[in-house]
Amino acid sequence: MNYPHFVSIEQAGTDGSTHHYVVHTIDPKLAVRFSAEWVQGQIRPGTIQRISVPNSWAGEYSQYARLVTKAEQFFRATLCDNNAVSGRLLPPSV
């Protein structure tokens, strides 16, 4: 897994759900919120819930489209398929 400028964040929702965020930490900054779903006993990345980009960057569609694709690949790579952890992210590797 080679995504040096991406970080993944999990946040517990008030309704008991888990929100998954992938953030690009250098310019151009980007945050994508994903959903994760269990389908036939396997974790699937689900859908993109929200994309946040700075206003000054909003017109660069081709540039952030490439970053959203990389963010999705990063999200897929960080999901843990173990049922015991219920779709949580993989712990960071040392």
Residue labelled with tokens 């040392």: 94
Q: Reply yes or no on whether the pLDDT at 32 is more than 90.
A: yes
Cα–Cα separations (whole angstroms), residue 67 to 4, 27, 34, 60, 74: 13, 11, 14, 11, 10
Average pLDDT (40-53) is 78
Write down the pLDDT at residue 23: 92
Tokens read off for 22: 């992938």
Does pTM surpass 0.85?
A: no
Average pLDDT over residues 29-57: 79
The angle formed by the CA atoms of residues 80, 75 and 53, to the nearest 5 degrees, is: 150
pLDDT band at 80 (very low <50, low <70, confident <90, very high): low
